[in-house]
Amino acid sequence: MSRRVLVVEDEPTLRALFRRRAERAGLHVLEAASSAQGIALAVLERPDLVLLDLHLPDGSGIALIEQLKADARTTLIPIVAWSGCDVEEGEAGVIRAGAVAYFEKRDVKGVVSRILELL
């Protein structure tokens, strides 16, 4: 059974790029375009890892990390945050919130490699 990664990203092009790279690496990808969808899918599907954007249309990635870590149903799922620009919170902020890693979006191939290492 392949490992399941939930990607929470509002940009369809980036979701598709991540999906292609991740599926080539043997991962099964679930997709959400908002914080609300991400929480619902995380609770329902219990993925092996969540990759989330820090800038979502319905809330901050930091708040989403905190919500997932506070919920007994999702607290043990590793979370990786990614962003396309300098993040005010920075890597230390996402780690403090409960993420296991932070990556920049510009290297999707590298992100997939690191996720495989984390899994």
**What pLDDT, in 10s, does the model give residues 64-106?**
999 999 999 999 999 999 887 655 556 777 888 899 998 877 7
User: Do residues 16 and 23 lie in contact, with contact meaning Cβ atoms separated by under 8 Å?
Assistant: no
Instruction: Tell me the pLDDT tens digit for each residue of 10-57.
Output: 999 999 999 999 999 999 999 999 999 999 999 999 999 999 998 888
Whether the Cβ atoms of residue 65 and residue 25 lie closer than 8 Å to each other? no
Task: Give me the CATH code for the 4-118 domain, please.
Answer: 3.40.50.2300
Query: ∠38-111-47 over CA atoms, to 5°?
Result: 35
pTM of the model: 0.90
What's the CA gap between 98 and 96, in Å, rounded?
5
